[in-house]
Amino acid sequence: SRPILDMSYSRHFLDFQGSSIPSSMKKLVVTKLSQNFREAVTVQQDSPVPLPGDGDLLVRNRFVGINASDINYSAGRYDASVKPPFDIGFEGVGEVVALGLSASADYTVGQAVAYVKAGSFAEYTVVPARQAVPLPSVKPEFLTLMVSGATAYLSLKELGDLSEGKKVLVTAAAGGTGQFAVQLAKKAKCHVIGTCSSDEKGGFLKSLGCDRTINYKTENVESVLRKNYPEGVDVVYESVGGKMFDLALNALAIKGRLIVIGFIAGYQNPTGLQPIQAELLPAKLLKKSASIRGFFLNHYLSDYKMALQHLLKMYERGDLVCEVDFGDMSPEGKFTGLESVFRAVDYMYMGKNIGKIVVELPHSVSSKL
């Protein structure tokens, strides 16, 4: 089953824009396990451009998404059996530039696609056609939905039991996935409280309809919750961990539900987790008939395409804000090119981003005509 475009003869083929597919490319590779992303990851300059198999697409990446879990992956926390070197990056948006024979039944060269698959921090990525999501165009906003939007949608749908009037607390609410938790809870007619680290982020949250923002740099989160919500909150969408987890747990109402989608405060620590006051956990849960549920997107892949189609329709109707942060306000400017992934990861861990952090990978088209 030979691919339609045999990459071994790539110099003889032109892609859809009239530029040749190169034989080598840049990509990021984990060469050492470390929670320090800059120590763990290396830029490889001359990796061979991979060859798509019969059911595969070769995607030229135009935008790649930064996730808090990139650090967990480069530290080897997800799969202890995987040893360096290995590719990194979870999601990308780009154009199909070559494809296998079976894949050509559903896709064509030039088509815009998004995907979630390890190895997106590269100029080109081979993606199985069944894992790709066809898009109307190559836009960074679509990338915000792939992991961040889908996580918020599925976790709240499956575990949140949202209904009108429920009080929902979203931590790191102005971040890549928090922005969707706020909007989806508002669409369910809930009262939404969002924590954030600046007045600018608070303004963004208010523009999404957030009912109460708490800037934890200037306000005491615990005091605000105790004063304004004495009976507690019904649902917490929690991604910070450490002290914020403790605050959220203590703020639960009777029959409250705390959904853990991450614990970013612990990702850069050598030990990973920051300590929580867990010895009182059974008593706290029992006292309130409360529950804690973890959510990891990989365990809900059977519902993933349905969730994504729903979110894409919402965005196309104008019912969903998909905020993208290219790092324009960062010290060295916009995140452009694979080398800027390192800066983008730092930017996220400094808590600077509003919305989803995205890196643009520009491609110069060298026309042969």
Residue 58 sits in the same domain as residue 155:
no
pLDDT for residue 104: 87
Question: Which residues in the chain come in under a pLDDT of 70?
Answer: 1-19, 270-274, 364-369
- Per-residue pLDDT tens digits for 11-64: 434 444 445 788 899 999 999 999 999 999 999 999 999 988 889 999 999 999
Same domain, 67 and 90: yes
- Asked if 273 and 355 sit in the same domain, the reply is no
CA distance 176 to 355: 4
Residue 318 placed within a domain = no
Query: Are residues 133 and 159 part of one domain?
Result: no
User: Does a structural domain hold residue 369?
Assistant: no
Are the C-beta atoms of 293 and 273 separated by less than 8 Å? no
Question: What was the pLDDT predicted at 175?
Answer: 97
The answer to the question of residue 13 being in a domain is no
Phi, psi angles (nearest 5°) of residue 158:
-80, -35
d(CA 326, CA 316): 21
Q: How many Å apart are CA 278 and CA 328, to the nearest integer? A: 40
CA–CA dist 29, 21 (Å, integer):
21
Sign of CA dihedral 73, 43, 332, 37: positive
Q: Are residues 328 and 350 in the same domain?
A: yes
Does 48 fall in a domain?
A: yes
Q: Which residues pair with 293 in a beta bridge?
A: 259
Residue 184 lies in a domain: yes
The pLDDT value recorded for residue 153 is 98
Q: Domains in the chain: how many in total?
A: 2
Residue 79 to residues 75, 76, 240, 249, Cα–Cα distance (Å): 10, 6, 22, 29
- What is the pLDDT at residue 364? 59
pLDDT the model gives residue 353: 97
Residue 192 sits in the same domain as residue 293: yes
Q: Is residue 9 part of a domain?
A: no
Q: Which domain holds residue 230?
A: 146-299
